[in-house]
Structure 1
């Protein structure tokens, strides 16, 4: 896969945006398992106050959300939402080993992490400023629903429509990744208040975990940033 596209307008909202893109081809991988309780360990780490840059980084994300018209207290970035659940409940429930892994990375490094089924994409993923007409498939009250983002909202999308609203707040159902298999795409998204070495460590944690869960996968990692 070529690198995801970061459209020029993103720099107006977050000129210090930097991310790690991870492509995993697990079509011929075997089934593995994690050797550690990574989600539980990450929750313990958050409860102990880590990481030290979390408050600054998540406040940075809240500022960016406010710049494109979102209300971060109501629809926080994904890393903030996970952290709030741990601070409130002490734990977040296990879903499956794959989702647990990338949630653990997000918690331990206070960084939004997305996991997507790349085989469901039409064209390349791209981070864009919405015109307000793109379809977003979701679930409301247990029923499928197509909605549209607000005009000016930052979204991830492909050639068909929006795959994640409000930058990294809510994934759509069409490209959602729930289990290991096929081609998978992960994105770890940071702003300037997160140290570069920490983003690199977060990427390594995810890659090492994926190699344990799906031995034999072909994994490619790239750093991307605004132009």
Structure 2
């Protein structure tokens, strides 16, 4: 699965600094939010509240990079916000399920867009492309605009506007056993921080599911 994931050259033409760390987790034992995952969310919220001016400026720069990327393909980031922008405005952080709580806490900690997908609900490999405008989507999300950056599989859209909102079809649920996590980076975030975030997420998944098998692959520069 990881070897088949691709980022189209047309996306890299928009933002040559884009990189994505894709991670698979097989053998998850997911479940409803519990005290442990609630603690992860609380710690991430507390981190935001305790930030000094320098940390706030660094976080704002990372989020602004995504807002600028949205404008490049015609989206209005004040109307459809990048996922990390929307998430950091929701305090206290929402409780979804243990696996989602895990990646949301890492997303907020690093000001990094992260998506979680149910691998068993995928049809073919994930790929990041510029939309033709006729891709199958869910009614609640609407059809993507031509040129919009989307994640998709063989069936159609899995996430609109780069990382704005994912479809229900591939969403992580309490029944998810095999998952795909998508960690997306733009400068000024470094590749080293991206890798660190991935390692931290893998550690949380291992806490949830001691037998989980995690693999990862970094895609950047069209590779």
Give CA-to-partner distance per residue, 1:74-122, whole Å, 9 cap, x none: 1111001011223xxxx12322221111110110000000000011111
Provide the rounded CA distance (Å) in 2 between the counterparts of 1:178 and 1:35: 15
Give the conservation status (yes or no) of the 8 Å contact 1:134–1:148: yes
What's the TM-score, normalizing by structure 2? 0.90
Structure 2 Cα separation of the partners of residues 137 and 35 of structure 1:
29
Change (3 A) 1:36 1:78: closer
Structure 1 segments, 4+ long, off by >3 Å, are: 33-36
Tell me how large the CA RMSD over aligned residues is. 2.1
Distance 1:78 1:35 in 2: 20
- Which of the numbers 60, 67, 75 marks the counterpart of 2:65? 60
Residues in 2 aligned to 1:2 and 1:96: alpha-carbon distance in whole angstroms: 24
Is the 1:30–1:215 Cα contact (8 Å) retained in structure 2?
no
Q: Which residue does 1:143 correspond to in 2?
A: none
Output aligned runs, 1:78-97, within 5 Å.
78-86=83-91, 91-97=92-98
Q: Name the CA shift for 1:25/1:131 in 2 (closer, same or farther; >3 Å).
A: same
What is the aligned counterpart of 1:71 among 71, 76, 95?
A: 76
Contact 1:117–1:183 (8 Å) recurs in 2 = yes
Q: CA deviation at 1:36?
A: 7.8
Residue 140 of structure 2 corresponds to residue 167 of structure 1: no
Partner of 1:117: 118
Q: Which runs of 5+ in 1 are unaligned?
A: 140-145
* Count of residue pairs brought into register by the alignment: 216
State TM-score, norm by structure 1: 0.88
Cα distance in structure 2, aligned partners of 1:78 and 1:197: 21
| Alignment equivalent of 1:43, drawn from 15, 31, 45 | 45
* Structure number with higher strand proportion: 1
